[in-house]
Chain A
Amino acid sequence: KNEVEQSPQNLTAQEGEFITINCSYSVGISALHWLQQHPGGGIVSLFMLSSGKKKHGRLIATINIQEKHSSLHITASHPRDSAVYICAVYMDSNYQLIWGAGTKLIIKP
């Protein structure tokens, strides 16, 4: 069983829809990292979370430490949001980073 699991693996939606991507993990963590990888390949950091909720523009990330679960939401989705969204967790024992396999999001106009 993977220690970090993302769902769904693939998601196609229409422009304007509310998007939710989920990340579940099975280890104790010190922080969770959401990243975005565009079709060109570059990886950029979106959020670093250790509790609660963070918002940046149309993106919202939440984490529930007790349930070992985090969600990334996109409001009013746009075709430029099309990318792979990656969840990674820092283990609290040694700060090792464990990566999810990513969720491929396609937003159609």
Chain B
Amino acid sequence: NAGVTQTPKFQVLKTGQSMTLQCAQDMNHEYMSWYRQDPGMGLRLIHYSVGAGITDQGEVPNGYNVSRSTTEDFPLRLLSAAPSQTSVYFCASRPGQGHLEQYFGPGTRLTVT
């Protein structure tokens, strides 16, 4: 199993550009989440999904969209990048209700200039 994979590893965007961060898992996990990690702060939840076709907002959803058309994939879209979105982004998954241990992707380091 590859586990949770994320692409790209690094990305530089100009303000106003849009892009999609990819996340895929091959463990048949129901739950998937996107987090951002900023220096000195804990991970903050952006969006999450409890199954294909079901998504919901987390703590910091503004400026981001998600969709979950398959169990495996959970892409994160930045609609119009802003310097405040410079961060490291982590995708995570877990099997489902009652199974709490999360599995993380390697992260995407995004810089918006």
B: number of interface residues (CB 8 Å): 18
Closest beta carbon of chain B to A79's beta carbon, Å = 22
Closest-CB distance, A50 to chain B (whole angstroms): 9
Q: With contacts A31-B100, A33-B100, A33-B102 known, is A41 near B43, CB below 8 A? A: no
- The CB with the most chain A CB atoms within 10 A, among B42, B92, B106, is that of B42
Q: Is B104 an interface residue (CB 8 A)?
A: yes
Residue A99 CB within 8 A of the other chain: yes
* Residue A43 is within 8 A (CB to CB) of chain B in the complex: yes
List the B side residues contacting A88 at CB < 8 Å. 42-43
Complex contact A45–B101 (CB within 8 A): yes
Closest residue of chain A to B43, judged by CB? A99
Contact (Cβ within 8 A) B40 A101:
yes
Contacts of B104 in A (CB 8 A): 35, 42-45
Residue B41 CB within 8 A of the other chain: yes
Chain A: interface residue count, which band?
20 to 34
Shortest distance between the CB of A24 and any CB in chain B (Å): 14
Residue A48 at the chain B interface, CB threshold 8 Å: yes
A27: Cβ under 8 A from any B Cβ: no
Q: Is B110 interfacial (CB-CB < 8 Å)?
A: no
A positions within 8 Å CB-CB of B: 4, 30-31, 33, 35, 41-45, 48, 86, 88, 90, 95, 97-102
29 CB contacts below 8 A, A to B, read A4-B42, A33-B100, A33-B102, A41-B107, A41-B109, A42-B104, A42-B107, A43-B90, A43-B92, A43-B104, A43-B107, A44-B104, A45-B101, A45-B102, A45-B103, A48-B100, A48-B101, A86-B43, A88-B42, A88-B43, A90-B100, A95-B100, A97-B45, A98-B42, A99-B42, A99-B43, A101-B40, A101-B42, A102-B42
